[in-house]
Amino acid sequence: MARATVIGSGPNGLVAAVSLARAGYRVEVLEGADTIGGGVRTLPGPLPGFVSDVCSAVHPAALGSPFFRAFGLAERVDWITPEISYAHPLDDGRAAIAWRDVERTARELGADERAWLALARPLADGIDGVVDFTGNELLRMPRHPVTAARYALRMLEQGTPFARWTLRTQEGAALLAGVMAHANSRMPSLSAAAAGLLLVAHGHAGGWMYPRGGAQRIADALVADLEAHGGTVRSGERIRDLSALGWGDPARGDLLVLNTSPRLALTLPDVPAGYARAVRDYRYGAAAAKVDFALDGPVPWSNPMVAQSPTVHVGGTRDEVWASENAVARGTVSERPYVLAVQPSVLDDTRAPAGKAVLWTYIHVPPGSELDATELVTRQVERFAPGFRDLVLASHAVPASAREMLNASEIGGDVFGGAFTMAQAVKRPAISTAPWRTPMRGVYLASAATPPGPGVNGMAGWHAARTALRDAGLPDALDDLF
């Protein structure tokens, strides 16, 4: 039986492992950390009884992923799907609310009702086409060309200064800016628009769901399936040099799948010069500085509707959000940063003791930043939730400079596996019709450094596994398995 060794147990690595195990390979996953899951790990929070996610907490793209739909993730994990996908507080107790119901969202935006419907409803109605277009490498003909064209035209509109003329109210403009700022890039930009429009579509289609008990449930479901098909996972096995790994014999059909930074591939012997140059030229982007809070009660948002939303974009007006993200692009941090906040205990009583609450937050910072973001986050949340500071029982900060120790793929604290730019949407990490395949025989990449890039959708792992099976002459090996 041919072997497949997978380095890294993030969701893409585990998806590749599950796929190859089901196709008949003897699979072993090696994880450098003491716990499995990579970006979907869940660990104890700042105090006993509080539970925090290490990286991603809410997963808009998970259940819309073609792989996870075929895998049956919706049935394997207990999902919470809020009525409110995300909220954006403003000064004076105002807020913009993105309901799953696109009509309600638009109606509450007043003068921006028609503009929001024109922007969001076609993408939500065509979510399968949007996922197909964004969930694969771009050098292919989309299966839903009309939806793809509509998405691309909106991306061109919202990725340029023309975005100022689409939504005119403070609420509508802020609501869209907050979701586009997930891209951690200059604003406005095509990359921010691409990410934001995908998230808007998911918000009004399936919603912004998250697993009860924490993101770890996703990794646990994948590992259970892997083990059921004979695979194994070993944690605490950090691999820094592949030349000494002894992963098998590619001539015999053995595979090496890297759910890591592409840089690790350069430790293999006989890497072609052109590929090595592409990997060295591959850029990593701005980073994340994270703060977890254990609270004595729910966040006291001035607007009560914000208290109902697990995901909150804390950043003020569109101009403030843009200024914050552009400051990071210039290598600085705004005194009023954009804060991505998640309050999972709003709907999940497993995340904090009774009557208490947990708050997951991060801000964008320059790569390698040593900034402890606790005070910046506290001040910004307090601005929209007076009394927040008094509820803090404990907090735990992870600066960008420390993230690489938690997850070796997060170079400089970049949680996206590489700068999220339009150029690197095509060159990720090299220009190819099958970027998951490396020039080294039997070696494949399955991480966010390959298409479709960041997000918990498992598609990079699925594409890597399918590419490996095609190369092995087994293109149909998984057709009856999912």
Does residue 392 share a domain with residue 337?
yes
Angle, helices 11-22/459-471, rounded to nearest 10 degrees: 40
Whether residues 305 and 401 share a domain: the answer is yes
What DSSP element (H or E) covers 392?
A: strand 392-398
Burial class (CB in 10 A: 0-12, 13-18, 19+), 306: buried
Report the DSSP pairing between strands 42-44 and 51-53.
antiparallel
- Burial call 451-481: b when 16+ CB within 10 Å, e when fewer: bbbbbbbbbbbbbbbbbbbebbeeeebbeee
3-state secondary structure of 197: helix
Length of the chain (residues): 482
Q: What is the mean pLDDT of residues 21-39?
A: 96
In this structure, the answer to whether residues 319 and 421 fall within a common structural domain is no
* pLDDT surpassing 90 at residue 346: yes
* CA–CA gap between residue 158 and residue 108 (Å, rounded): 21
Picking from 47, 78, 76, the residue whose alpha carbon sits closest to that of residue 213 is 78
In a domain? residue 341: yes
Residue 421 half-sphere exposure, CB side, CA atoms within 13 Å? 13
Contact 146, 132 (CB under 8 A): no
Share of the chain above pLDDT 70, in %: 98
Residue 258 placed within a domain: yes
- Phi and psi at residue 235, to the nearest 5°: -95, 170
Residue where a domain terminates, one of 380, 406, 432: 406
Indicate whether 255 and 187 sit together in one domain. Answer: no
Least confident of 90-94, 148-152, 425-429: 425-429
pLDDT above 90 covers what percent of the chain?
93
Q: 368-425: per-residue pLDDT in tens?
A: 999 999 999 999 999 999 999 999 999 999 999 999 988 999 999 999 999 988 889 8
pLDDT at 388: 98
Regarding whether 398 and 425 lie in a shared domain, the answer is no
Residue 140: the pLDDT is: 63
Residues 349 and 460 in one domain: no
User: What CATH number is associated with residue 375?
Assistant: 3.90.660
What local confidence, expressed as pLDDT, does residue 482 receive?
63
Decide if 232 is inside a domain: yes
> Is residue 424 located within the same domain as residue 380?
no
Find the mean pLDDT for residues 7-27: 97
What pLDDT, on the 0 to 100 scale, is given for residue 24?
Answer: 95
Full domain range(s) for residue 30:
3-39+214-282+416-471
Mean local confidence (pLDDT), 230-246: 95
**Domains in the chain, number:** 2
Q: Which residues, including other chains, have CB under 8 Å from residue 315's CB and lie 6 or more apart? A: 88, 174, 177, 178, 181, 321, 324, 336, 337, 338, 339, 380
The identity of residue 6, as a single letter, is: V
In a domain, 479, yes or no: no
* 158 plus 188 within the same structural domain: yes
Q: Which of 48, 13, 36, 110 is nearest to 458 (CA)?
A: 13
DSSP per-residue codes, 411-434? GGG-TTSS---HHHHHSSSS--SS
Q: Does residue 55 fall inside a structural domain?
A: no
Confidence grade of residue 479 (pLDDT, cut at 50, 70, 90): confident
Q: Of 388, 406, 424, which closes a domain?
A: 406
113: burial class by Cβ within 10 Å (0-12, 13-18, 19+)? middle
**Of 361, 355, 415, 414, whose CA–CA distance to 384 is shortest?**
361
Q: Please report whether residue 70 resides in a domain.
A: no
The whole-number average pLDDT for the span 60-68 is 94
Query: 28-42, 255-269, 399-413, 467-481: which range is least confident on average?
Result: 467-481
Q: Are residues 122 and 218 in the same domain?
A: no
Residue 139 confidence (pLDDT) above 60: no
Residue type, 99: W
- Contact between 259 and 51 under an 8 Å Cβ cutoff? The reply is no
The answer to whether position 73 is within a domain reads no
Q: What's 450-463 look like in SS3? A: CCCCCCCCCHHHHH
pLDDT at 406: 87
Domain identity same for 155 and 299: yes
Do 130 and 275 share a domain, yes or no? no
Which residue, among 130, 75, 15, 62, has the nearest Cα to 481 in the 3D structure? 15
Q: Is the pLDDT of residue 194 over 80?
A: yes
Mean pLDDT over the full length of the chain: 96
Alpha carbon 298 to its chain centroid, in Å, reads: 25
Q: What is the CATH number of the domain that holds 450?
A: 3.50.50.60
Please indicate, yes or no, if residue 296 is contained in any of the structural domains: yes
Is 368 in contact with 346 (CB distance < 8 Å)? no
pTM equals: 0.96
Domain end among 361, 387, 406: 406
What is d(CA 72, CA 68) in angstroms, rounded to the nearest whole number?
6
In a shared domain, residues 187 and 239: no
Q: What is the pLDDT of residues 354-374, one digit of tens each?
A: 999 999 999 999 999 999 999
CA 186/CA 405 separation, integer angstroms:
27
